[in-house]
């Protein structure tokens, strides 16, 4: 086994990929840090270097993708040219190996903590005491961050706080899944440690390393996630002690009780935790200003709210808590600016998202007196709308480049008519609706793969939104703090701050046609809660949080019986004249667009009639959690494995889930 460890480390150092085929190997491998000299992790700089390696856990702008702006694809917000099999019941199957039952980041954090904490307590680490504490806090944060990822993907999960010897009995015991509520308690405990240890500003004084507010914001996210999950999945196998909960089959989970005494009390406690943590951030960080200008000339003033999402240096924006900085000189680059100017790398906004935005007067588009001009043209869609849609939804003939207009090799100076008949990711427009978030007006950013704009990781606005939602979920009403936060967000967005006007004019049966978040557990929610979710959807569009929200709200049940059709812009109206008739082929195996017989709106997944989702997206309950791959059960005992499968899934490889 020792030779296997050496081989694995060597392969990693060579930059190769090694696929672990044995759970035992995977759990007991030493971290890469173990190959360093024994004196490592004895001074502040070594702690800082070890911690910085964990920053690759955050979503960021990968070289050839739309970066963080494309994460929301395959939701009701964003689509691309190919559908997702998770919306085709029977197509997502149990894997033979791999999956999200994965411990590498957790092991790296545990190695650091079990090595450093004794030295720290003994005063054996040299350097600034404040900085040493900060870097230890970072590692508590990263362990919590990865554990939250496991909870979202798998639910119940082992709680592991140490690295293990090469002992199968020990490793098997460590594989026992703990109830998700206990895992979340563990995550919050780690975040409390991070909050207590990290400084209000990072040791380097910038926003490229974590600070205390990042941990507070993340704590509010975790607590809100689990509070809403427990609330909306109560009475199902997806919560501890729910009917059919697979964890109950294990002796080690017998007699489980929530720490507050009941699931109802646990939910309330979680919402309280979210409110407390989010208010600490929201009260300390103001929202960046929006002058409601879409810069189209070098004589126009720049708009800080717009620039915040595509700046090279994001440290000067008030609500930015953490971002990743790139460097063109060091060739640490990406292609997001190129994609932001042309087609978004095939990621398009959906009709559902676009229609959810209010008018600037605070009314839904269908309300009497709203002033909505319809959707025959994209310019009509944008007119008099919520300032975020007006600012970030692109339309043809808008200016994309204002500076260094001849500098980049892949500049798109003027926004073209959306090329919906080209399925090349780098040239086509999947829905006809493209987003402007992430666009930088500097042509020097548009050398192929040479962009170096920053990537946002955390911004304070989420704390405002978390507080509003947690407050309403906990109390059934909004307190003064929530009202203040909501008004601030709407004022910045350029929407009438009277959210009660929006609520009183909301018709849930209409909203439900285009917004999965109108539902929880297959039932329409009330208009106040819906408008809170609407605000979150509009403010955080294309920031990678939509799937997380939809899961915790249990917002896909309705698609078990009623398929949902992903749609884009209104192709079969006047905008069809943008294209030659011969290019708008439909109803054939080589169709380029969807048929007008299906809808006036472009359906990117329903062109040929042969798509598995031609009749719409469908859902099955098991898909709220991923299956654990079959090999992990075999390694830990086979029929007597200490691991249990997630609801609806089998332990047999290549098997589809059953109905719940």
Which one, of 459, 437, 205, 444, lies nearest residue 333 by Cα?
444
**b/e code 583-616 from CB counts within 10 Å (16+ = b):** ebebeeeebbbbbeebbebbbbbbbeeeeebbee
Place of tokens 């019941």: 89
**Separation in Å, CA 405 to CA 184, 304, 398:** 50, 21, 15
Identify the pLDDT of residue 659.
85
Q: How far is CA 30 from the centre of its chain?
A: 30
Which one, of 253, 28, 77, 30, lies nearest residue 155 by Cα?
253
Identify the pLDDT of residue 625.
98
Asked if residue 137 lies in contact with residue 143, where contact means CB atoms within 8 angstroms, the answer is no
Q: How confident is the model at residue 205 (pLDDT cuts 50, 70, 90)?
A: confident
Asked if residue 94 lies in contact with residue 366, where contact means CB atoms within 8 angstroms, the answer is no
What's the length of the chain? 660
Asked if residue 26 lies in contact with residue 20, where contact means CB atoms within 8 angstroms, the answer is yes
Identify the pLDDT of residue 34.
47
d(CA 162, CA 171): 11
Asked if residue 637 lies in contact with residue 172, where contact means CB atoms within 8 angstroms, the answer is yes
> What single string gives the DSSP state of each residue in 409-478?
TT---BPPPP-TT---TTT--SSS--B-TT--SBGGGGSTT-B---EEEEETHHHHHHHHHHHHHHHSS-
Q: 184 Cβ partners below 8 Å, 6+ apart?
A: 151, 222, 223, 226, 270
Asked if residue 544 lies in contact with residue 65, where contact means CB atoms within 8 angstroms, the answer is no
Q: For the chain, what percent of residues have pLDDT higher than 90?
A: 91
**Separation in Å, CA 299 to CA 217, 302, 403:** 37, 9, 12
Average pLDDT, the chain: 93
Rg (CA), the chain: 25
Q: What is the pLDDT of residues 241-284, one digit of tens each?
A: 999 999 999 999 999 999 999 999 999 999 999 999 999 999 99
In degrees and rounded to multiples of 5, residue 524 shows phi and psi of -70, 140
**Separation in Å, CA 251 to CA 145, 160, 171, 286, 638:** 29, 19, 18, 50, 16
Residue 12, number of CB atoms within 10 A of its CB: 13
Residue ranges in 53-179 assigned as alpha helix (H): 104-121, 129-154, 168-174
- Is residue 30 pLDDT above 50, yes or no? no
Q: Count of alpha carbons within 13 Å of 313, Cβ hemisphere only?
A: 3
Identify the pLDDT of residue 154.
98
Residue 81, number of CB atoms within 10 A of its CB: 18
Place of tokens 């954090």: 109
Residue 302, number of CB atoms within 10 A of its CB: 13
d(CA 446, CA 583): 29
Asked if residue 394 lies in contact with residue 435, where contact means CB atoms within 8 angstroms, the answer is yes
What one-character DSSP code corresponds to residue 564? B
Q: How confident is the model at residue 613 (pLDDT cuts 50, 70, 90)?
A: very high
Place of tokens 């042509």: 443
Q: What is the pTM assigned to this prediction?
A: 0.94
Asked if residue 365 lies in contact with residue 354, where contact means CB atoms within 8 angstroms, the answer is no
Identify the pLDDT of residue 2.
30
d(CA 517, CA 524): 9
Q: What is the pLDDT of residues 327-379, one digit of tens each?
A: 999 999 999 999 999 999 999 999 999 999 999 999 999 999 999 999 999 99
d(CA 540, CA 464): 12
Q: What is the pLDDT of residues 51-99, one digit of tens each?
A: 999 999 999 999 999 999 999 999 999 999 999 999 999 999 999 999 9
Asked if residue 18 lies in contact with residue 12, where contact means CB atoms within 8 angstroms, the answer is yes
3-state secondary structure at position 227: helix
In degrees and rounded to multiples of 5, residue 63 shows phi and psi of -55, -55
d(CA 209, CA 50): 13
């Amino acid at each position: 086994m020792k030779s296997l460890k050496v081989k694995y480390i060597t392969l990693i150092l060579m930059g190769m990929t090694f696929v672990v085929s044995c759970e035992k190997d995977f759990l007991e491998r030493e971290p890469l840090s173990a190959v360093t000299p024994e004196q490592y992790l004895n001074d502040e700089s070594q702690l800082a270097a070890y911690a910085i390696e964990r920053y690759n856990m955050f979503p960021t702008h990968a070289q050839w993708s739309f970066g963080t702006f494309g994460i929301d694809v395959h939701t009701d917000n964003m689509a691309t040219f190919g559908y997702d099999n998770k919306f085709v019941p029977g197509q997502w199957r149990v894997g033979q190996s791999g999956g999200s039952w994965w411990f590498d980041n957790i092991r790296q954090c545990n190695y650091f903590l079990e090595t450093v904490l004794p030295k720290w307590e003994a005063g054996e680490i040299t350097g600034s005491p404040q900085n040493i504490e900060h870097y230890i806090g970072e590692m508590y944060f990263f362990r919590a961050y990865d554990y939250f990822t496991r909870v979202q993907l798998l639910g119940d999960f082992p709680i592991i706080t140490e690295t293990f010897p090469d002992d199968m009995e020990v490793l098997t015991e460590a594989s026992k899944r703990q109830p998700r509520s206990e895992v979340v308690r563990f995550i919050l405990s780690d975040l409390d440690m991070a909050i207590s240890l990290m400084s209000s500003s990072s040791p380097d004084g910038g926003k490229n390393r974590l600070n205390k507010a990042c941990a507070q914001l993340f704590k509010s996210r975790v607590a809100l996630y689990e509070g809403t999950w427990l609330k909306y999945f109560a009475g199902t196998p997806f919560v501890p002690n729910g009917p059919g909960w697979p964890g109950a089959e294990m002796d080690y989970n017998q007699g489980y009780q929530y720490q507050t005494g009941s699931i109802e009390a646990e939910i309330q406690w979680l919402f309280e935790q979210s409110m407390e943590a989010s208010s600490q951030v929201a009260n300390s960080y103001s929202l960046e200003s929006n002058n409601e200008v879409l810069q189209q000339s070098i004589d126009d003033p720049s708009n800080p709210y717009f620039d915040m999402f595509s700046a090279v240096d994001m440290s000067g924006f008030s609500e930015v808590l953490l971002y990743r900085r790139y460097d063109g000189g060091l060739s640490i680059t990406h292609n997001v600016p190129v994609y932001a100017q042309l087609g978004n790398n095939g990621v398009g906004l959906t009709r559902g998202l676009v229609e959810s935005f209010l008018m600037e007067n605070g009314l839904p588009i269908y309300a009497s007196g709203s002033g909505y001009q319809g959707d025959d043209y994209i310019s009509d869609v944008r007119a008099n709308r919520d300032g975020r849609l007006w600012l970030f939804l692109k339309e043809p003939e808008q200016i994309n480049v204002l500076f260094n207009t001849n500098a980049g090799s892949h500049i798109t100076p003027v926004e073209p008519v959306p090329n919906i008949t080209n399925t090349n990711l780098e040239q086509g427009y999947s829905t006809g609706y493209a987003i402007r978030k992430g666009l930088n007006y500097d042509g020097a950013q548009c050398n192929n793969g040479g962009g170096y704009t920053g990537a946002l990781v955390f911004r304070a606005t989420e704390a405002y939104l978390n507080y509003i939602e947690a407050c309403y979920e906990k109390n059934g009403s909004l307190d003064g703090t929530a009202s203040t936060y909501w008004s601030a967000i709407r004022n910045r967005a350029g929407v009438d701050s009277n959210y009660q006007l929006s609520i009183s004019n909301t018709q849930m049966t209409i909203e439900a046609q285009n917004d999965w978040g109108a539902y929880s557990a297959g039932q329409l929610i009330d208009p106040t809660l819906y408008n809170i979710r609407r605000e979150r959807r509009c403010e955080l569009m294309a920031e990678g949080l939509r799937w997380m929200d939809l899961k915790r709200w249990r917002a896909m049940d309705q698609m078990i019986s009623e398929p949902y059709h992903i749609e884009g812009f209104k192709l079969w109206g006047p905008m069809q004249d943008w294209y030659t008739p011969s290019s708008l082929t439909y109803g054939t195996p080589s169709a380029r667009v969807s048929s007008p017989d299906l809808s006036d709106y472009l359906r990117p997944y329903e062109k040929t009639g042969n798509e598995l989702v031609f009749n719409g997206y469908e859902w099955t309950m098991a898909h709220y959690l991923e299956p654990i791959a079959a090999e992990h059960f075999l390694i830990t005992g086979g029929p007597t494995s200490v691991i249990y499968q997630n609801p609806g899934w089998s332990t047999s490889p290549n098997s589809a889930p059953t109905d719940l």
